[in-house]
Amino acid sequence: MEQQPIIQLESIKKVFYTDEVETHALSDIHLEVQAGEYLAIAGPSGCGKSTLLSLLGLLDSASEGSYHLDGEPVANLTASQRAQVRNRQIGFIFQAFNLIGDLNVEENVELPLTYRKMPSAERKKRVQEALEKVGMAHRMKHYPSQLSGGQQQRVAVARAVAGEPAILLADEPTGNLDSKNGEAVMELLRDLHQSGATICMVTHDARFARYAERSVHLFDGRIVSEEEAAAVSGEYTAGMR
């Protein structure tokens, strides 16, 4: 029996209206992502990558088409239902890290769990595990401003995985990092994928797109090509250094 895709987009269209201008950000997008898959969404600036990620992350709605997340249609959910789905099923990793500056590392990672009415002991356990996974457990009481960019992104990854979401959405996760820290974050994402995480990553960097099992290329709001990529081997990453 064929496995049901965790993400299923059919004939997705997104149009922005500003005054008299109609901008077609996405047109006729068909996309399926299987559980456990690592997908890269690549393309030049302005091609619709972040709009697509907004739709996948339920931060925006499509103008037309259908979106099923884990088999459930999400088009007609209310704002509070969408928030609940984001909290339980989606983990975000942003280019700008987007940690809350007034919360320390532990509190930042714990924050999405506090929105679930999860018992405190369970929250603490998950936070500890997530931070150990990204190698940041020793920085629990530090504030984001006391960490390097690479460390902040690791904490952001921990926040994304602490809730054990169905999918991880990464928006240019290496964009604000130098190449060494960028590679470290990519290795971390690969480790998470190898332990079963489903990842959709937006990137304009072909080197990092190769970490994914499959890449779709967007241009002018349309998927223009799709390719299976061999997982990046140790030789490849060694060659990039």
Partner 1 sequence: MGSIGQDLRFAFRTLRRTPGLTAVVLVILALGIGGTTAMFSVVDGLLLRDLPYSDFRQLVTLWRDHPPVLVTLFAAMGFVLFVTCVNVTSLLLARASGRQTEMAIRNAIGAPRSRVVRQLLIESVVLSAISGVVGLVVALWGIDALVALFPSNLASLDTLGLGVRLLAIAAVVTVGTGVGSGILPAALTIHRADRLEPMSILRSE
Rounded CA separation 200/41 (Å) = 7
User: Is 120 a residue that touches partner 1 (CB under 8 A)?
Assistant: yes
Cβ 235 to partner 1 shortest distance, Å: 33
Nearer of residues 7 and 109 to partner 1, judged by Cβ:
109
Tell me the per-residue interface mask from 23 to 62 with partner 1, x by CB under 8 A, - otherwise.
---------------------------xx-xx--x-xx--
Q: Minimum distance from CB of 80 to partner 1 (Å)?
A: 6
Contact present, 96 and 176 (Cβ < 8 Å): yes
Kindly tell me which of 49 and 217 has the beta carbon lying closer to partner 1: 49
Contacts (CB under 8 A) with partner 1, residues 60-99:
60, 79-80, 83-88, 90, 92, 94-96, 98-99
Q: Does 123 bind partner 1 (CB under 8 A)?
A: yes
Q: Report the candidate in 226, 229, 231, 230 with the shortest Cα–Cα distance to residue 32.
A: 226
Torsion angles phi and psi, residue 74, rounded to 5? -120, 0
Smallest separation, CB 100 to partner 1 (Å): 6
- CB of 127 or CB of 188, closer to partner 1: 127
Q: How far apart are the first and last CA of the chain?
A: 43
* Smaller CB separation from partner 1, 35 or 59: 59
* Min dist. Cβ of residue 238 to partner 1 (A): 32
Minimum Å distance from CB 127 to partner 1? 12
Residue 195 found at the interface with partner 1 (CB under 8 A): no
**Interface with partner 1 (CB under 8 A):** 50-51, 53-54, 57, 59-60, 79-80, 83-88, 90, 92, 94-96, 98-100, 102-103, 107, 110-112, 114-115, 120, 123, 159, 171
